[in-house]
Structure 1
């Protein structure tokens, strides 16, 4: 069963990554600042293939020159030198750019100021935090910072915080590779690749929960693997706490929570320790992770409710986000077009009514795709391109 599961995951991954690889050979995307208009430009496939060929030749040459033996022994240090260099580069980058935040980042700061001033209006119908309650974690973090530094200084403090969590994410991924494959030349190369992946690194330019949430999610996966190796309770406790913090800062991380739950179930199925007690132990650890995740992730909303004497709402429906992602826009297919915001307002901030309206819109989009497969293919082909083939990942726009 484990082999079948692994093979399915591998095949699906190869199909998706293979398609994105081929698409990247021929397409590169650029985004105009302010308007966010996306331009699809032809890439030079021969130049891309030439560079790939050079890298392959260098790897083959490195094996003959005993570089592999060197990386097997010292690759661990090579990785940490590389990630340290990237952190220093990013610190230099933000000191040179000094972007002033706008959009969601600006709204988060405004809500943080309101929280400190005892103003509950952002959490009341029509307020930003009422519409997007998943931002409560970031709002409280910014509010905490504003008690010690002014607004301008806090921007640079936030840069440092985001760079720190960027490093936590990369180190966590590297440690996961080491647990799975050991410390050798392979994991050293993997570590160098992930630490120099600029599209993710450049995401530090946006005050949002992405880097913080993903860092905690990676730590949660890391702890789950350590539990698998040692079966010690403390790793499940740390896994649950890290997963809760991940959800607090980036609700999308719930998909990683699902993955961790599946991982614990796989531990149960493939458990080689005889007896019911061993199975119950794994189930108990899984329940512990679930309870910790959902209890701790509710703390920000409860704290705000107690402090401001206001009841945070359920917020906009996730269905509205899905509906937005299936609509074409002037900027790019599936891009933000205010549909989710407008639908929530039109339905008088009723989450359930917004969900029903969005579900109907989704059905209409899917029907359109079914009736016009050529358009459907064009839509998703362009959407995947802008998601994956923009080398700077919006960093200048943000």
Structure 2
């Protein structure tokens, strides 16, 4: 049985590597040849442009060379170089985040404002926002976790003698959380590969990830949930790496080595789901990886971890909702059913294929907030679109191709659209990035950055396969999460904002791949390995005669 599980584990590793190579290769080709962007901040229509391959190649070569040059300089004295790069990156994130708060003047709007205002009401003692019909939360009850987080922050803010809105404080907190993301992803890169070049390249990529800076002013669930996810994944990977591959428990302080990382990991992953329900995609990846690691090592303790992870992730939002309902003495509806999101993901929109067009909200509202009626209408809409796709296969292929491009080749990840709303006029210099002369500069920079990330990911996986030394499966937890997100948002409601967090998950893999590219001895190792294999084979051949 043990040999069967080990064979299954190795097969899973090779399958994930091959699938990841195909997937990242597709991302690189798409990102290299196409760019999706929005140049009109009123309509926010997503436009698709075919890039000039020669100019794009030149940009990739120049930017890639600059990254590798900085890496080479930092790695002359790795310990000191990494500390300097870490300080520069952290200071840069803090400084740019502060400038964006001061001059960008972004305010919560749409869903973000609905959640924030509900939290504000609850912090002031008004529980009327918990209502079965007259409440935003009865449409989207999955937001109760983020609302609870906002309420806690608002209550803390209200203790201070400052007349500003609490969302300014939230944006300041998000800048700090962005630094936490960078720090724990940096530690994750070092934990996984113990490669100074990969560490340095990650810090360079993180410090130049402008959409991440922009999203630090977006008062919603992306930044806090990914900060929690980064912490949770780091401690999970630390737990799995420190565990021996057999059942023999290490005798030195097992509680410190295993229990504490497991606890922090579970806490981080649970908070990630509480703050953003779509984090369940990452939880699924975590559970699959840990189950296979448990089968490989024979450790039943990992099965306990899986059970706790599933239980906490699936109950954190319902428990939070029940607490609010008990506090208000009222109830919330089950919300807009998932089926309507699947239906909307098959429809056209004024912005792009499969993007939000109001179908889910309108259908639920017009049905009198009746879940069964909404599901029936959504199923009928899905059937109608399926029939149309079958009758027009060319249109269907074009529809999903453009849906894919609109999400995965927008290097800005809709960061300008997400942070567009302001309270009062934005500073003219900041406005230039939205509607002025710097808008195209921002789009082109982000497009080039995204292409380099895709290239690094693809190169790293390809080199791993060429070395014929597959890594442990847990090292690919982030990549499995990204592929899961790709599948999910191809059938769910689309938006490049939803892909932003998967883009962040790719950066560590890009750093590893670019580090492999920068290693001038890689090709030499391949030649040496191939030479050794040839010599071994020739020695084993029988001598004629």
Q: Which residue of 2 aligns with 1:365?
A: 385
User: Which aligned pairs between 1:261-276 and structure 2 lie closer than 5 A?
Assistant: 261-271=287-297
In structure 2, the residue corresponding to 1:206 is in which secondary structure? coil
Tell me how far apart the structure 1 counterparts of residues 70 and 169 of structure 2 sit (CA, whole Å): 41
* CA distances 1:48-80 after superposition (whole Å, capped 9, x unpaired): 1012223455577779x7764434763354234
**1:26 aligned to 2:56?**
no
Aligned to 2:262: 236
- In structure 2, what is the Cα distance between the partners aligned to 1:316 and 1:110? 20
Equivalent positions of 1:103-122 (< 5 A) are: 103-115=110-122, 116-122=124-130
Contact 1:241 1:293 in 2 (8 A): no
Distance 2:67 2:209 in 1: 19
Aligned-residue CA RMSD (Å): 2.6
1:342 paired with 2:365, answer no
SS at match of 1:41: strand
Q: In structure 1, what is the Cα distance between the partners aligned to 2:200 and 2:105? A: 33
Structure 2 residue 10 is matched with structure 1 residue 3: yes
> Is the Cα–Cα contact under 8 Å of residues 130 and 315 in structure 1 kept in the other structure?
yes
Match for residue 60 of structure 2 among 32, 44, 52: 52
- Structure 1 residue 126 displacement after superposition: 4.4
Cα offset, 1:19, TM superposition: 2.4
Question: Which deviations, in whole Å up to 9, do the C-alpha atoms of 1:335-394 show, x marking residues without a partner?
Answer: 111101012123322334423432332233233333322212222222222223333332
Structure 1 contact 245–297 (Cα < 8 Å) conserved:
no
Aligned to 2:482: none
Select between 122-131 and 50-59 the one with higher mean Cα deviation.
50-59
Q: Name the CA shift for 1:2/1:177 in 2 (closer, same or farther; >3 Å).
A: farther
- Please point out which of 379, 385, 396 is paired with 2:405: 385
For 1:274, the equivalent position in structure 2 comes to none
C-alpha spacing 1:305/1:383, structure 2 compared with 1 (3 Å): same
- Closer/same/farther in 2, CA of residues 167 and 56 from structure 1, 3 Å limit: closer
CA distance in 2 between counterparts of 1:188 and 1:62 reads 8
Q: Residues 81 and 59 (structure 1 numbering): CA distance in 2 closer, same or farther, change over 3 Å?
A: closer
Structure 2 gaps of 5+ residues are 1-7, 244-257, 419-545
Report how far residue 257 of structure 1 moved. Answer: 0.9
Q: Distance in 2 between matches of 1:129 and 1:221?
A: 30
Provide the C-alpha distance between the structure 2 equivalents of 1:47 and 1:157, rounded to a whole number of angstroms.
42
CA distance, structure 1, for counterparts of residue 391 and residue 86 of structure 2: 51
- The offset of 1:308, in angstroms, is 0.7
Shift of 1:4: 2.5
Q: How does 1:1-398 map to 2 (within 5 A)?
A: 1-31=8-38, 32-57=40-65, 68-71=75-78, 74-115=81-122, 116-147=124-155, 148-149=157-158, 152-231=164-243, 232-271=258-297, 279-398=299-418
Bigger mean CA offset, 350-359 vs 256-265: 350-359
* 1:86 and 1:196 in contact (8 A); partners too: no
Cα 1:343/1:251, change in 2 over 3 Å: same
CA distance, structure 1, for counterparts of residue 221 and residue 335 of structure 2: 17
Q: Is the 8 A contact 1:76 1:188 kept in 2?
A: no
Alpha-carbon contact 2:108-2:116 (below 8 Å) kept? no
Deviation at 1:175, TM superposition (A): 1.7
Question: Aligned-pair distance for 1:215?
Answer: 1.6
Tell which deviates more after alignment, 185-194 or 333-342: 185-194
Question: In the superposition, relative to structure 1, how do residues 330 and 72 fare at CA in structure 2: closer, same or farther (>3 Å)?
Answer: same
Counterpart Cα distance in 1 of 2:94 and 2:67: 26
- Report if aligned partners of 1:73, 1:184 keep a CA contact under 8 Å in 2: no
Secondary structure in 1 aligned to 2:37?
Answer: strand
**Change over 3 Å in CA distance of 1:242–1:381 after alignment to 2:** same
The structure-2 alpha-carbon separation of the partners of 1:119 and 1:379, relative to structure 1 and needing over 3 Å to count, comes to same
